[in-house]
Amino acid sequence: MLECHQGLVSKLSRYVPNLIAMHCVAHREALAIVDACKGFPCISYVGKIANKVYSWINASNVRHWHFQKLLQEMNLQVLEVLQIHEMRWLARGNMMVCLVKLLPAILTFWKSKAPMWYEKLCIFKVLFCIHLLANVLLELDGLNKNFQRESIDITSFSTSIEVCLNSLKKKFLGDIFAKSTTYLKLFIEKAQMGYLKHVNENGEEYTHTLLYVSMPSKDKNEMAKDFVLKVIDCINERFPHMYFFNANKLFSPMYYPSEEDERDRKSIIWLSRLLTRIGNHVINANRCEKELKAFVDTLYYECEGMNFKDAWRVFSNTSHWQETFPNLLKLWQILLVLPISSVPCERGFSKQNIIKIDRRQHLKVGTLDKLMRISMLRPSCDLIDWKRIYDIWKK
């Protein structure tokens, strides 16, 4: 939809030059990882390995049953192997974490059932990249889930992104590499002896010797640091209008400085940035600037400490303020309805693509619509009357 030349937005902009376009923030953040992986073949290879695990185990009911049985024997949490799908970006972090948790069982399973793939998975650098990607995605997954909330505060976006990026820098770019990481640090410690070992509750050991194959690239730590730096750069590139999110603090008294001079200075900057992004075709910039001083003072004292949406509920219900600040209230309304996060829409696209690709190669529009509705609105399995279904099938 946002493709530079052929996307819907670019085509509409030719006829509506003043169109305000917003790309879903959760999707933008997820695409940053896709951008970063392009320059690191070993990281991209992790996705192929993960999908091979998924396809190999799930291609056979017998294999799937034996794998679930092995998980119980190894006292591992019984989890399903998830597929890494380009369209399922909303759950990519969960997929990698699930893969890491299942690695001891996958290695044990492949050791006897798929020796060729077992040898590939035992390569130290491949396992290193799996744990690295799982940790990076774990950090970004928290940010992505924050962006997926039904009610999100636009003024908190920049802070959330900054906290996430600082966490990545602290864990991977500081003096101690992989400091406080959930999975990578533990893997490095376990791999120091040249093998990985898992012991179940009965004391049975499952040991896997690591293979140190020469792979063309930098030292693993340097490669990991370069990858994290690339992730940070890609996130910054995907959010070029961070100033716009910050400028929404004009309508959130909780961010107002207590000093009047500083409050006036910041409000002027915030309004200028909002008008630059929204444009003059909808809002009268001169009238907004005239209303600004009295508006900020009123908002500061009457809605002290309130956030973006709470302040609107109070302010918009007072007719006197509506008459006094019509232009700034109009700007506020525009910001409230901007589709900053369109996760339900993106989730629908994911469902549509999975149905088209995995279920059928060719679908009529009507059939696709029915499958979409069933997949998104179906009841829980616990609520299904299986006996009645069986009786219908029997007849």
Spell out where the chain has E strands.
195-199, 205-209
Residue 354 clears pLDDT 80, i.e. is over it: no
Phi-psi sector, 169: left (phi>0), alpha (psi -120 to 50), beta: alpha
Q: What's the pLDDT score for residue 306?
A: 92
Q: Which of 16-30, 240-254, 326-340 is predicted with the least confidence, judged by mean pLDDT?
A: 16-30
Q: What's the pLDDT score for residue 176?
A: 86
pLDDT in tens, 274-305: 998 887 778 899 999 999 999 999 999 999 98
C-alpha to C-alpha distance for 81 and 78, rounded to whole angstroms: 10
Six token digits for residue 60: 């056979």
CB under 8 Å to 209, separation ≥6 — which residues? 122, 194, 195
**Nearest Cα residue to 343 out of 30, 83, 12:** 30
pLDDT in tens, 115-158: 999 998 999 989 999 999 999 988 888 887 777 776 777 888 88
Q: What percent of the chain has pLDDT over 70?
A: 80
pLDDT in tens, 48-104: 888 888 888 878 888 888 888 888 888 887 666 666 554 455 567 778 888 888 899
pLDDT in tens, 187-241: 998 888 888 988 888 888 899 999 887 654 458 888 999 999 999 999 999 888 8
Q: Which of 53-57, 171-175, 283-287, 388-392 is predicted with the least confidence, judged by mean pLDDT?
A: 388-392
Residue 327 clears pLDDT 70, i.e. is over it: yes
